[in-house]
Structures are given as structure tokens and as C-alpha cells.
Amino acid sequence: MLTITKDKILPTTIVGSYPRPHWYTESLHGRPFKGALSDAIFREQYMDAVACILNDQARAGLDILTDGDARFDNDVGGRSWFFYPLERIGGIAGHRDRAPGWSKRMDLRPGQILWEVQEGYQAPVATHKLSRGPIEYAAVWQTAQRLTDRPVKFGAISAQTLPSMLWNEAYEDDRDMILDLADIINAELKEVAAAGCKIIQIEEPLHHFLSLQPDTTDEQLAFMTDAFNREMEGIEAEIWVHTCWGNPTQQAMFWERPSYKKAIPHLLNLNADVITFECASTSGKDLPLFKDFQTDKKIAIGVVSHTNTTVEPTDVVADLIRKALTYIPPERLVITTDCGFGREGLSRRIAFYKCVALVEGTNIVRKELGVPEAEVRASDARLAFAKQGELQ
């Protein structure tokens, strides 16, 4: 059941990751999260960094915050998005020079930036039946939530996406490995919800990518739907599904973004409350598709890009929201970013002002919709120091 977004018109948030403060130089390096917090230097840097990241988002006026994925190591191309759980799951060892998912669907060559990203990933091998280890997602979320009064959304990679970075030598069928991963992640996310988290975001189930491959069958997509629903079974929280077209080192994996057309019916069948779509990079070219689907799910649209270092003008953000409202009613529309802001590609200053543009563009449309002035002011992104004039 919807719990956070049901009473808010055009609630605002970001997908997840946020640039690190320059002084945050520590990393987990495979350690259990709670154990690493006993390291005085890591604890101080981590807690201070999360506080800064939350404060940036709150100053920008976002309604729902994230911890910026600060648990992820400062590594190549967002590697820890995959490897935070992979380093903490039993039955995994070693590494190979290439990643199975990328090897199958991308033609990469030396001299390309994504070749270098893949070279840095060094995908491990499933050598035995997979088992749950010290992932400790609940502790990660609690650490952030106790630093702010605003709701903190917890996001993590979908179990069905992990095998793209995991060579299988333990299972006769990759599907059995996916289902074991779904059970492991399900147990973790149940603890996150039990700890009090109201919004859990599952990132990149494979429907939209698989739908681009001409040999993908409806039966394969149905299996992925079943695997996702197994991953979500019994989790008492508002469930979001994030989809985009890639984000390694803030690079576009498709120069011209594909269409979600074939994937939308399958995504809307997922047991989730909110489905997110990358829209800023395409100026919302897929938004007209939503007129053909009846759903009670909320739709979250990206209105600022993670692969463009230019901060979007507020009127551009507002125009994209107005376009979305042609096809999606305001009570079912959520405003977000195309993807996370990462740790390599964007500076923290640019990420902050993209958040400001997101909120101020949303507030323009809120006022047009007749949202009470007090509520608009409550989420207004104008900064306190700006109201005080220039520094003397």
C-alpha cells in the first residue's frame, strides 16, 4: 500500500547516488558495514558524508531523501552498485577479466571508456550454492534515517541484475541462481522494512533491457516478473522500481535512448507501487505510451539528466512535467532524476543545483495545479543564504 506519496502532489526525490564530498576518502573494501563503523576514521567520514548528502537534498527542497549510496566504494564506473552485495554473499570467489552480461550485449573495444569501466569491474564467480552473508541493508538505512526528519528511501540493485556481473559455475541453470539471489535479497529487504523504512526502491529489473533483444520471449519476461515478485514477497513497504538506460561513470550506454514500449506492459505487472522511467534524456518521447495503459500504479519520471553536466533550466523541467500530466494524472505522478548522480561523473555542486532545478520546476507546476501556497513554500528550493543577499 502507498504510504509516503499518497497525499503529496508531485512528490520529489532523486534516484539514489550522489557525488561524494572530496574529503570522504575511505571505503568499505568488502568489510561488513557494521564492523567498518568500529573504524573511527571510516565512521567519522561516513557519518559526516551522509549528513552532508542529506543536507544538500533537504536544502534543495526534496520531499524524499536518499543517503547518496554512500556505502559504495570509491571505485571505477559505479562498480559497487553491483559489488556491494556480491562481496557479501556466500558461494562467490575469484574474478575474471570480463563481465558476463556486458560480454553478451555490448561490443566493447580498447580505447572506449566503457571498455575501461568493464576492465575495472573484474566480475567474480559463483563457485557454490549462494547463501546470505553480512549485507546489512537495514543498518545502512537506519544510519541515514536517524540523521534527518524527512523520509529516506532505500535503494538497491535487483537480484535478477546481479548475474550480469557474476559468472555461473555452481548452477546448471542461471534461473536457479536468480531465484536464490531473489531469496537472499528478499530476506535483507524484509529487515529494512521491519526497521521502519517506508520506501524501498529496487533498481533495474531486466525487463526493459531484455525487451530490446529480438530473441527475448514473453516466457522469459514472465520469468523475470515472477522472480521480481518473489524478491518482493512479504516486504511491508512502499515498493519502487527504478529503470533507466545505464549509468557507468555517468556514461550513456545508448547514445539515442531506446523506447520502453515493449517493456511497459511487463513493468506494470510487477508487484510494486511506483515505476520510474528515464525521461529527461529523451524529452519525454515515451510519455504518450501511457495513454494506452490502465494502471493504479504511480509513475515516476526523470526530469533532470545524470549524463549531462548542464543544470536544466526550471522552465524545461516544468515543461516536461506538464507534458507528463497530459497522460498521467497529478495524483499518480512522481518527480525524480533519470538515474543516480554517481561518484565519478558529476560534481557535488552540479548535482545540488540539478536537485534545485528539479524542485523549483516542480513548484511552478504545483502552483498551476492549485496546490496550497503553504505546501509549495514548504518544499521551495530557494536557499536561505540567497534570501539574505550577497556575502558582505
Q: Between 314-325 and 348-368, two packed helices, what is the crossing angle to 10 degrees?
A: 50
Vertex 273 angle, CA 250 and 191, to 5°: 80
Structure confidence at residue 296 (pLDDT) = 94
- Parse the chain into domains and list their residue ranges: 33-385
Torsion of CA 106, 169, 223, 290, to 10 degrees: -30
Task: Fill in the DSSP letter of residue 245.
Answer: S
Write the CB contacts of 188 (distance below 8 Å, at least 6 apart in sequence): 132, 135, 137, 138, 156
Asked whether the beta carbons of 48 and 101 are under 8 A apart, the reply is: no
Structure confidence at residue 24 (pLDDT) = 97
Give the distance, in angstroms, between the CA of residue 332 and the centroid of all CA atoms in the same chain: 19
Q: Coil, helix or strand for 316? A: helix
Q: How many C-alpha atoms does 297 have within 13 Å on its Cβ side?
A: 25
Stated pTM of the model: 0.94
**Cα–Cα nearest to 118, from 77, 160, 168:** 77
Q: Residue 316 burial by CB count (10 A; 0-12/13-18/19+): exposed, middle or buried?
A: middle
Structure confidence at residue 2 (pLDDT) = 46
Asked whether the beta carbons of 141 and 160 are under 8 A apart, the reply is: no
Q: Coil, helix or strand for 89? A: strand
Q: What are phi and psi of 215, to 5 degrees?
A: -90, 5
Q: What are phi and psi of 300, to 5 degrees?
A: -105, 130
d(CA 124, CA 324): 41
d(CA 256, CA 277): 15
* Digit-coded pLDDT (tens) for 326-379: 999 999 999 999 999 987 779 999 999 999 999 999 999 999 999 998 888 776
Structure confidence at residue 4 (pLDDT) = 58
What pairs with residue 301 in β-bridges?
277, 335
Alpha helices per DSSP H over 94-239: 100-105, 113-121, 137-145, 174-194, 207-210, 218-232
* Digit-coded pLDDT (tens) for 331-340: 999 999 999 9
Structure confidence at residue 326 (pLDDT) = 97
Question: CA distances (Å), 156 to each of 17, 123, 138, 380, in order?
Answer: 10, 18, 12, 28
Cα Rg of the chain, angstroms: 20
Structure confidence at residue 369 (pLDDT) = 97
Structure confidence at residue 313 (pLDDT) = 97
Structure confidence at residue 304 (pLDDT) = 98
Q: Between 174-194 and 137-145, two packed helices, what is the crossing angle to 10 degrees?
A: 30
Q: What are phi and psi of 92, to 5 degrees?
A: -115, 135
Mean pLDDT for each consecutive 10-residue tract of the chain (392 residues)? Answer: 68 97 96 98 98 97 97 90 97 88 70 80 94 98 98 98 96 97 98 98 96 94 98 98 87 84 96 98 96 93 95 98 97 97 88 96 96 80 62 67
Asked whether the beta carbons of 210 and 216 are under 8 A apart, the reply is: yes
Write the CB contacts of 231 (distance below 8 Å, at least 6 apart in sequence): 158, 159, 160, 182, 185, 186, 189, 202
Q: Spelled out in words, what is the top-level CATH class assigned to the domain 33-385?
A: alpha beta
Q: Greatest CA span in the chain, whole angstroms?
A: 69
